[in-house]
Structure 1
């Protein structure tokens, strides 16, 4: 799949908040580690360099995180791994109503986009109606869902 990947939505401002939050958490970790182990000189520089590298990789993955489409298929980029599927391997794209339970309580009800494969398996996407990209933009969530469905439908029509 050597085609051009496009994320059909702009990243939300929540991503930048998460990146800033992670930077603050790593700064606190560095401060606590330096104080706990009485680090000086090279130890401080090694710790700072290591945590900066971890933050840079994490921030890059957070920025790249999401669902991308092309004429050939769909690419799901998570924080740790990415997954590519061609349109011919996908049976359908649907919304899934999620309910999180903790004992007797229902914590969250929300919609996510799920990809159904031809072999009967389902693949969860990074698209969540209340996530950092769509929390304040519910119309955009529906538009992205429709865009992915339309691309899948168009790929199916092209095959026939």
Structure 2
């Protein structure tokens, strides 16, 4: 018997297909059409654990009487926490207004009128964002001017590695949002 509280895809069973979205979950709100992968969540959790140790060391430094060092230590902990939270937000977000690609240090937002096509292509993709490439699938956005946005998601990134069905669902949902709101 699977423990549904421990699985990331617990709402994707047969009963969830009939579920009605919450009334406050309107199309005007930015939402990620897929769950973050276990690697991304695990890395953020380890970063937050590291931040807690750094904060604990700041408390010990304050007790020792070195206030400037404690301030620096606390600043490092706040930076680690901010990076961990930003790392959790990395991905593709959609709303009725457009498509938003959130990366660690930058965000790109396109209105639906600027999007020519959202499609899945077979090509070499980066494995977990590293320089090594493997053959895989990538979701690509073509702009109206002919240029392409950086690759949105791949089946070998941190959210979809070893989860091909989750990549297929996410690609289908993103293509459906584009088809509906580009009109």
- Alignment TM-score > 0.5, same fold: yes
Provide the residue aligned with 2:8 in structure 1: none
Q: What corresponds to 2:168 in structure 1?
A: 142
1-structure distance, mates of 2:79, 2:71: 12
Extract unaligned runs of 5+ from structure 2.
1-26, 58-64, 127-131
CA distance in 1, matches of 2:125, 2:47: 28
Contact 1:67 1:125 in 2 (8 A): no
How many corresponding residue pairs? 142
Equivalent positions of 1:109-128 (< 5 A) are 109-128=135-154
- The CA distance in 2 between the partners of 1:146 and 1:71, in whole Å, is 17
Distance 1:80 1:147 in 2: 25
More relative contact order in 1 or in 2 (CA 8 Å, sep 6+)?
A: 1
C-alpha contact 2:140 2:150 (8 A) present in aligned 1? yes
Higher share in strand: 1
* Structure 1 unaligned residues grouped into runs of 5+: 32-39, 101-105
**Which of 81, 97, 114 pairs up with 2:106?**
81
- What's the TM-score, normalizing by structure 1? 0.75
Query: In the alignment, is residue 108 of structure 1 matched against residue 159 of structure 2?
Result: no
| Partner of residue 133, structure 1 | 159
Normalising by structure 2, we get a TM-score of: 0.66
